Structure 1
Amino acid sequence: MNIDIREETKAIEEQVEAIVEKILVNQDKFKISTFHLSELPESNNWENHPNIDPIFKRHVEKLDTYKKDCLYWFSCEDAEKATILNNALNQYRTKYSGRNDYRVVPTSNQYNSDTNIIYVGVRRGSTAKNPKCTNIIGRINQHLGYYKQRKTQGLQLLHWAKYLDIDVTLHVVHFNDELGSLLYVIEKAIAKELVPHCGRH
């Protein structure tokens, strides 16, 4: 029996297109929360995280129920605010790269300037090593800047953006099933549409 790869590829592409269209049309339904950067809690010696902080946890506690594969993105209210945030990220990268206290941040997409989207990413499902912390909240904590390992790439907002007068919105799409490698295909397709300021796709 022969398999027509072109037909199979076309079927997958059509499936991905349908998923991407559904996500884009329903973006507001995937909004988890909007928070001001100054709200990010302090965390001396990493004893505090956004999902356990008494005040901030309301922004992300919904993610404790997300056990399957997730697609997520961070946005600002408009392209101007997103550009300010991205410029600050670029300044951090330039100033601290190579230093012992540098935290790895995503690369910049210098041509994606007319967008309010900062970053698009995915996280595979299942629970993390800590059963009280799902994989997606663990990843979001990294982006917010609450992770000991400096070399784990993320936005690291706590370390360079807390002083900015900007609101950031987190969107998360929680899929019903494990998508395998298709998750990364969907991520690329969404990133192509949302054109984030940083992160390679």
Structure 2
Amino acid sequence: MLLQTHNFDEVIETLINNAQSFSFNLKDLPDAFEYTANLNPNHKSIRSHQTFKPIFDELDAKKNSCLYWFELDDDINCKTLIDLLNTSRLSLAEKERIVPVANKNCDSNVLYVGIRRRGYTQKWKLSNISGRMIQHLGYYAKGSTQGLQLAYWAAEAGLDIKLNVVQFEEDFPNAYLEAFEKIMAYKLKPLCGKH
């Protein structure tokens, strides 16, 4: 059997049409030194922040594997954001905050595409996808865990951004999840990340 491009396009369209979207403005990201991932009594939790609590409530309900991507309204805003990230890379490295690698993609409104395996931590009532978003937003204590680290560099952009999440019903093997990620990245051409 010969696979044709339209087969992959159908898969991508199905994934896009089944995504749950969460929008926020980057200026609403609170200071990364004030907020953390958990309920440490010395810090406020990003999971209980007024803007982000509804997002984390929904994400914590997603216990299966997920495909996700961050997108902006248009290519111009996404280029503005990736330029800001690229000029912040040195200062982020000095703060020991690891961000996705630069790539050669251009003319896209998608910043990043990723996957997260299923899982849930009962102690924190935290799903794996919630944990991953904490890293991307920049509130995970360990900056050595790669993520967008948005709170450290993106708030000044003041742009609206959308997180799209597709939760898979089946428990796919890692190879399948990675294939979905690569197909989606090929189509959406995220402006950062290795694909």
TM-score > 0.5, shorter chain as reference: yes
* 2:172 alignment counterpart: 179
Quick one: which amino acid aligns to residue 74 of structure 2? Answer: D
TM-score (norm 1): 0.83
Identity of aligned residues (%): 35
Match of 2:148 among 155, 161, 172: 155
User: Highest Rg: 1 or 2?
Assistant: 1
> Following TM superposition, by how much is the alpha carbon of 1:112 offset from its aligned partner in structure 2, in angstroms?
1.2
- When normalised by structure 2's length, the TM-score is 0.86
Structure 2 letter corresponding to 1:41: P
Deviation at 1:29, TM superposition (A): 4.1
CA contact (8 A) 2:63 2:120 kept: yes
Corresponding residue for 1:58?
Answer: 54
Q: Whole-Å Cα distance in 2 between the matches of residues 176 and 29 of structure 1?
A: 12
CA distance in 1, matches of 2:92, 2:149: 13
- The corresponding residue for 1:3 is none
Distance 1:134 1:26, change over 3 A: closer
Distance 1:173 1:20, change over 3 A: farther
**Residues 181-201 of structure 1: CA deviation (Å, up to 9, x unaligned):** 210111111100000000001
Does structure 1 residue 34 correspond to structure 2 residue 23? yes
1:196 maps to 190
1:77 aligns with 2:66: no
Shift of 1:40: 1.3
The counterpart of 2:10, out of the listed 16, 21, 25, is 21
1:113 aligns with 2:106: yes
Q: Pick from 121, 135, 138: which aligns with 1:128? A: 121
Aligned length: 187
Work out whether 1:165 is the aligned partner of 2:158.
Answer: yes
Counterpart of 1:4? none
Q: Which residue of 1 aligns with 2:39?
A: none
Q: Structure 1 25/103 Cα, relative in aligned 2: closer, same or farther at 3 Å?
A: same
- Structure 2 unaligned blocks of 5 or more: 37-42
Q: Secondary structure at the match of 1:59?
A: helix
Counterparts of 1:80 and 1:33, CA distance in 2: 20
Q: CA deviation at 1:21?
A: 2.4
